[in-house]
Amino acid sequence: MRKIFMIMALFATAIVVNAQHYILSNIPQLSQKKSLFHRPIGKNENGTYFLNYAQENLTDGFSIEQFDEELGYVKGRFFDVGKKIYVLKVFSTDSGIFWISVFRKRYEKTKLYLNKINLNLEGSVETRFVGEFELENIRVDQLYADCSLNKKNWSLVYLKEINHETTEIGFSLYNLNGTELLKQKSYISSRKELLQFEETALNDSGQFLGTLIFNIPKDFANRGLKLNDLYLVKFSEKISETKKMVLRNNYANSEILVDPYTQNMVVSGLYGDSKGVEIEGCFIVQIISKQFSNETLIETDFSEKLVKQILGIKSNKKSKDLPRNFFMRRVINTSTGKFVCVIEQYSESKQLETYYINGIPQTSTRILYHCGDVGVLFIDSQGLIDSCVMIRKDQTGTIYNLYLMGIATFVCQDGIHILYNSDIARNNEVVDMVIQSNYAANQKVLLNSDNFYNMIVPIDGKEMEYCTFTVPLYRDKQWYWMQINGHD
């Protein structure tokens, strides 16, 4: 390792710049009844489109808003969703707004639909019946819908129990007319309830890649272990396979990257001890689109020097502590063949509380959530960690403000932008930390006010186009859209 830098986000080692390189929507978002979640859908020549909804899978209906280039409100419309209808994915194209939905009723076949509304949000919703599946008892969270980057194709993947020891993985590829282009199946020797897709992706060539987690059952003598196996699931015109990845140690988590130019895919993740807490290293799996059946696995253990840099002041010279509770948040490839991995610390703890009812003490337990330090790992083409930049932060909250914690990222010519709320307790400062290619870090305070709240929802933001990021902003008791331009 040639260079390792530690950047303290809250101290003078980072250059602090107050820059107002953002715009806000001119009106608050639609006040849909019971609306809780707000997410960008996409952008085209007609403007930018946003989604508001209240329930997972949009079962209570949803609203779509249209804004112009300067985030000026154009129009909005609410859409009802019928009973037993579950929306799996919403996406925009140059021809309209689409959403993939299923009709699911117990003991009946699962019916698949493709819905479309014009870009002006007017007229009737065009609903096309796509097909039906023998999935009588499947849960909605066992259905996975994806859309290609060029928005020309989409796919559906499901997990279906064949018997007690075998699970079927089904894949179907469709175009925007709802025509089935490809249908494939693969099988894995496991019970369905032990399997879960962590990440799924579809490239423009119609190739599907998923990271499937097999939660190994624990026996009585090993109840403290957290054992996972990682499988790569591939579907294409010529390939249908599920392959176990053999890593140096127990698998932790991963992210998938699809290169928009080459259509190559990259899986990056972490591995660690048997309890799934201490992280020992990272891995990268490279899959070339033209050689989709093959993959190249590179594993890199964290060096002692890197471990000390990640731990920072928590490092004990006499101990052999490892970084704990880190998760892969994003993997980015560069034009030079190198990779950048963004990792973040996340953990949960329990707090015992005492309160009194009629003078009698009562106790209860609540869960606290912690989002801590962020690491930016620069990895060369051989898989070696060339450099590391650390951002020190400490976010602690409850289930009521968990959605305000964590980070969002987008890429620009000046570096990798990492957005987060720096003060969860006061909710009044939004920070944009820019990690440059020379490993320097610039801290830009986007919003800071002692008079009213400023909070973004990092997990619901979206990189609408290169160097532009759009995210929901809660400001002065109202929701707005915030578009951050990294060109400035």
The amino acid sitting at 329 is R
Written as six digits, the tokens of 336 are: 């030079």
Alpha carbon 407 to its chain centroid, in Å, reads 10
Q: Which residue has the higher pLDDT, 217 or 81?
A: 81
Q: Tally the residues of the chain.
A: 488
pTM of the full structure: 0.88
Q: Is the pLDDT of residue 220 over 80?
A: no
Instruction: Tell me the pLDDT tens digit for each residue of 256-296.
Output: 999 999 999 999 999 887 565 789 999 999 999 999 999 99
Strand 441-448 to strand 15-17: parallel, antiparallel, or no bridges (unpaired)? Answer: parallel
Q: Is the pLDDT of residue 313 over 80?
A: no
Which one of 4-13, 152-161, 249-258, 471-480 scores highest in mean pLDDT? 152-161
pLDDT of residue 12: 32
Provide the pLDDT confidence category of residue 227 given band limits of 50, 70 and 90.
low
- Show Cβ contacts of residue 293 under 8 Å, excluding neighbours closer than 6 positions: 234, 238, 239, 241
Instruction: Tell me the pLDDT tens digit for each residue of 183-201.
Output: 999 999 988 888 999 999 9
Provide the pLDDT confidence category of residue 98 given band limits of 50, 70 and 90.
very high
Q: Is the pLDDT of residue 358 over 50?
A: yes
Q: Is the pLDDT of residue 7 over 50?
A: no
Question: What is the mean pLDDT of the segment spanning 239-247?
Answer: 91
3-state helix/strand/coil string of the chain: CCCCEEECCCCCCCEEECCCCEEECCCCCCCCCCCCEEEEEEEECCEEEEEEECCHHHCCCEEEEEECCCCCEEEEEEECCCCCEEEEEEEECCCCEEEEEEECCCCCCEEEEEEEECCCCCCCCEEEEEEEECCCCCCHHHEEEEECCCCCEEEEEEEEEEECCEEEEEEEEEECCCCEEEEEEEEECCCHHHEEEEEEEECCCCCEEEEEEEECCCCHHHCCCCCEEEEEEEECCCCEEEEEECCCCEEEEEEEEECCCCCCEEEEEEEECCCCCEEEEEEEEEECHHHCCCCEEEEEECCHHHHHHHHHHHCCCCCCCCCECEEEEEEEECCCCCEEEEEEEEEEEEEEEEEEECCEEEEEEEEEEEEEEEEEEEECCCCCEEEEEEECCCEEECCCCHHHCCCEEEEECCEEEEEEECCCCCCCEEEEEEECCCCCEEEEEEEECCCCCEEECHHHCEEEECCEEEEEEEECCEEEEEEEECCC
Instruction: Tell me the pLDDT tens digit for each residue of 23-38.
Output: 999 888 755 556 678 9
pLDDT of residue 14: 38
- Show Cβ contacts of residue 109 under 8 Å, excluding neighbours closer than 6 positions: 132, 133, 134, 135, 136
Instruction: Tell me the pLDDT tens digit for each residue of 401-418.
Output: 899 999 999 999 989 999
